Chains A and B, each alone.
Chain A
Amino acid sequence: MLYRENGQFKSTYRADQQIFPIRQDRIAIGVLLVAAVVLVPLLASQYLLRAICVPFLILSLAALGLNILVGYCGQISLGTGAFMAIGAYGAYNVYARISGMPLIAALLLGGVCSTAVGVLFGMPSLRIKGLYLAVATLAAQFFTDWAFLRIRWFTNNSTSGSVSVAGLNVLGVPIESPVQKYLFCLGFVVVFGLLAKNLVRGAIGREWMAIRDMDVAAAVIGIRPVYAKLSAFAVSSFIVGVAGALWAFVHLGSWEPAAFNIDRSFQLLFMVIIGGLGSIMGSFFGAAFIVVLPILLDSLPYWLGIPIDTALASNLTFMIFGALIVFFLIVEPHGIARLWSTGKEKLRLWPFPH
């Protein structure tokens, strides 16, 4: 009843091809954006902004990038942490070595570095498929783990291998307080989300999906696998690289290569699978689930007033996390995005039965 499309007709092709053709959707997105930009900074506490909202935004950006590769193009990659690291260290080198480099330019250049390496490590995908490719991408992960520890040039010759940035600002406006950090990341997420959504709706997105579904058939009808696969790697690495740079600069402030290790890669893959493969919305759902859940599980004993030993609490968190992942995969293997779209389908009829 509420989600009815009756009465909404389009008179131009352009109107028909817009991202949100249904008016209710447009209103919903508008409300969401207003809430995100105005309400959240007003109502959320410093801790909530710093520890939940900012990581959620940055990781959902990374999950978005990974979803393009895994969900839309079907190339399983376990080396996402490596691309985040390359983005972070690339941005750091540009920022630290070139004085006066604007922050946004540094972050984007970090993404460009990540793109270059992403295309390089994406080339095996032309020959290797499926699970073999997944494990082969781990080569990228371990290689970058080693490279940032060993090659001093990347860390600006710091003796310990740990680097940090300070004094972030955009055109004089500092990015120090939680609200500023939150709005900064929100800006990036909105822009890249729009970018990704339009990419996957366009010709290139359709090429990716064709490669994912049946790559031999796609080649037969004229889609060049080289172009499609490598462009997927390129776009995905760019977004993941920018997310990595944001994670390092805005969230951590000071980091070492271990911040982007294999656990991070698995975490991102979890987000994408639980959120929903092949869905932009899904990346956000998955990121919310994975970011909020451990913190919730850690704080739960405290709220319930049951004092348990932190080791037990931490182990329980692991166990519940693992069990929930399996549960989710059994219940809805296509992820939360599928639940969401099923919900929307039901809403179109509700409260009528048919």
Chain B
Amino acid sequence: MGFFLETLFGGLMAGMLYSLIALGFVLIYKASGVFNFAQGAMVLFAALAMARLYEWIPKWLGLENKILINLLALGGAMLLMVVVAWLIERLCLSKLVNQEHITLLMATLGISYFLEGFGQTLFGSDIYKIDIGMPKDPIFVLQSVFQGGVLINQEDLYAAAIAALLVALLALFFQKTATGRALRAVADDHQAAQSIGIPLGRIWIIVWSVAGFVALVAGAIWGSKLGVQFSLSLVALKALPVVILGGLTSVPGAIIGGLIIGVGEKLSEIYIGPMLGGGIEIWFAYVLALMFLLVRPQGLFGEKIIDRV
């Protein structure tokens, strides 16, 4: 029973981390109708920027204080992501405005290849460290109830807390600020928003920047856990089932989808996996999402797809 709880906690926390990445997908899809396959590359790029800036800033500015360096690195990486967002919008998306879904998908795939190559050229292909002071050793709770206690990974706990905070901030941003309202208007109907004077181009830059910020936070957390290297962009592939399970247009969907996929993955790998030889978690997540989709083809919280003839 104790181990089951461990697996459950582990799954919930892994799920929160997946939803961090899924959030980036959902934000961009909601506001501009583009399924951003480059989200993984953006996570990698942001994490690489932060990791290398963390190394380079002490050399350039001679600072010693770790917190200050981390903040500067974070700021620098954020700036870089905004520039990337602006460039993507200006050079690619504004020219592909009314194209079909699949063309936009392919364009973002092209962008992801570009970002991966560019990131490795600028920053290198070694494994780099992000040190935001997360504790690495586990803690054991409920030692009195279960023998040996239930293991909880502290880093994951902090990461889940940060993810929750981020979601709350985003919710506040969307609900309470004027820009947030403009974003929701654009997500609802591009043409109507344009007709009442909302500048579409600027809104898309803001959306991509926010997605870039989410990518940066996700990159910092995943990078701190796993080290920053090219393969980090593959973590985005694990977040795709979360996106389709929760619905492409729903932020709460991304969170709940993340939790379901996280728990499902871990439980399946631990309890069903050994019977099948192991290594099943990645396809299990997709099959799980597929099962849900068969019941609700638009995802759990997605907008119902209405076919008009």
Contacts and interface: CB of A to CB of B under 8 A. Distances in A.
Are chains A and B touching directly in their complex (CB below 8 angstroms)? yes
Interface of A: 70, 76, 124, 127-132, 134-136, 138-139, 142-143, 145-146, 149-151, 214-217, 220, 262, 266, 269-270, 273, 277, 311-312, 314-319, 321-326, 329-330, 333
Contacts of A314: 117
Nearest 5 pairs between A and B by C-beta?
A318-B117, A322-B114, A322-B113, A325-B110, A139-B286
Contact of B103 (A128, A131, A329): A329
A266 B290 contact: no
A325 B101 CA distance: 15
Interface residues of B, number: 52
A315 B110 CA distance: 14
B63 interface: no
Contacts of B95: 330
Interface of B: 35, 91-92, 95-96, 99-103, 105-107, 109-118, 120-121, 125, 237, 240-241, 243-244, 248, 276-280, 282-283, 286-287, 289-290, 293-294, 297-299, 305, 307-309
Contact of A131 (B105, B280, B290): B105
A18 B92 CA distance: 41
Contact of B244 (A136, A143, A215): A136
Given A150-B277, A216-B307, A326-B110, A131 B297 contact: no
Given A333-B96, A333-B99, A127 B121 contact: no
B283 A319 contact: no
A322 B96 contact: no
B299 A132 contact: yes
Contacts of B91: 326
Contact of B309 (A145, A217, A311, A326): A217
A214 B289 contact: no
Given A318-B113, A326-B92, A329-B106, A132 B121 contact: no
29 contacts: A76-B105, A132-B299, A134-B105, A136-B244, A138-B237, A138-B240, A139-B287, A139-B289, A139-B290, A145-B283, A149-B279, A150-B277, A220-B309, A269-B106, A273-B103, A273-B106, A315-B120, A316-B117, A316-B121, A318-B114, A318-B117, A321-B110, A321-B117, A322-B109, A322-B110, A322-B115, A325-B109, A325-B113, A329-B106
B250 to A, nearest CB: 13
Contact of B279 (A132, A146, A270, A315): A146
A319 B113 CA distance: 6
Which of A132, A134, A217, A333 has the most chain B CB within a 10 Å cutoff?
A132
